[in-house]
Amino acid sequence: MKLNLVNAATGATWVKLGIQTFFKRPMAMIGLFLMFMASMSVLTLVPLLGLPLAMMLLPAATVGLMSATLQVTQGAFPMPLVLFSAFRANPRVTRAMLILGLVYSAGFLTAMGITILIDGGSFAGLYLGGSPPTSELLQSSEFQYAMWVFVGLHLPLSLTVWHAPALVFWHDVPVFKSLFFSWMACFRNFWAFTVFGVLWMSLMVLTVLFISTLSGVLGLSALGGSLMFGTLMLVASMFFCSLYFTFRDCFTDTERR
C-alpha cells in the first residue's frame, strides 16, 4: 500500500467521475443510497442506542457504497447485498469495521454533546432532524457558535475516518494505522480535497437555489419541499459515488475482493 500525491485538479476529476458513474446505473445507485439512508433513519428511532448504533455502522455502510461504485465501473449491476460487503468478508474485517464505527460514533457524539452545552441543543435538534429551522434560530449567536464548533470538531474526525474503512477492507491495514494513513492522505492531498469539497458544496447550494427559484416562478411552493428533498438525494447519491475515486487515487496496489 502506497500513498499517492495528486494535484488540486484531481479533486474536480473525482466529482466528475462520481457524477458519471451515477448516471451509468442511476436506478441502482439511488436505490442503494435510499436503502442506506432508510436503514440509518430506522436505527435512529431506537431510544438512546439508535443514534450511536447508526453512527457506528456508517463506516461499513460507506464501504458498501464504494463497493457498489467499483462494480459499476467494472460494468456490473450492484445488488442490495453489496451494502453488507464489509460484514461479508471475514471476522477480522468485521471486527475492524466495528472498532472504526466505535471511534467515529464516539467522536461524533462528543462533538454533538459539546454543541448542546453551548446552545442548549438547538443545533443538535436541527442537525438530527428533530426540529424545524426558524429565522430566529439561524440568526442566534449561540446557534452559529455551536454550528462552527461542530464543524471544527467533525471535519478532522471525518478526514481521519475517510479512507480508513476502505484501507481495512481492501488493503488489510490494521485499524489504527488505517486512521493514521487516512489522515495523512487527506493532509498530503489537501488542495485536491479542498477542490472536491468546495465543488460538492457549491453544487448543493446551486441545487437549492435553482429548486427554490423554480418553485417560486412556477407557483409550486407546496411541492417545493418534496422536489428539494428528492433532488438533494440525487446529488448526495452522486457524492457517495465519488468517494471510491478519492480512495483509488490516493492509494495504489488495491487488492479488490
Asked, for residue 74, whether it belongs to a domain, the answer is: yes
Q: What is the DSSP string of 20-82?
A: HHHHHSHHHHHHHHHHHHHHHHHHHTSTTTHHHHHHHHHHHHHHHHHHHHHHHHTT----GGG
**Amino acid type, 119:** D
Note the pLDDT of residue 254. Answer: 47
pLDDT of residue 257: 44
pLDDT at 186: 96
Average pLDDT, rounded, for the chain: 90
What's the sign of the alpha-carbon dihedral 87, 90, 94, 96? negative
The end-to-end CA distance of the chain, in Å, is: 15
C-alpha separations of 204 from 31, 130, 195 in Å: 20, 22, 14
Residue 56 has a pLDDT of 93
Per the domain annotation, does 257 fall within a domain? Answer: no
Whether 126 is in a domain gets the answer yes
Domain assignment present for 129: yes
Nearest alpha carbon to residue 165 among 155, 153, 179, 154:
179
- Please, are residues 136 and 59 in contact by the beta-carbon 8 Å criterion? no
Number of compact structural domains in the chain? 1
Q: Is residue 163 part of a domain?
A: yes
What pLDDT, on a 0 to 100 scale, did the predictor assign at position 200?
96
pLDDT value at position 256? 47
User: Is residue 40 in a domain?
Assistant: yes
Per-run averaged pLDDT (10 residues), the chain, 257 residues: 93 97 96 92 86 93 96 95 92 95 96 94 81 70 92 94 96 94 96 96 88 74 70 92 96 63
How far CA 90 is from CA of 10, 11, 111, 167, 175, in Å, comes to 33, 33, 32, 15, 15
Decide: pTM greater than 0.85: yes
230 Cβ neighbours under 8 A, 6+ residues apart? none
Residue 14 in any domain: the answer is yes
Measured over the CA atoms of residue 160, residue 161, residue 166 and residue 168, the dihedral's sign is positive
User: What are the φ/ψ torsions at residue 190 (nearest 5 degrees)?
Assistant: -55, -50
Query: Is the CB of residue 44 less than 8 Å from the CB of residue 128?
Result: yes
Structural domain containing residue 177: 2-252
Distance of CA 97 to the CA centre of its chain: 16
Residue 88: inside a domain, yes or no?
yes
Which secondary structure element, helix H or strand E, spans residue 251, and what is its range? strand 251-252
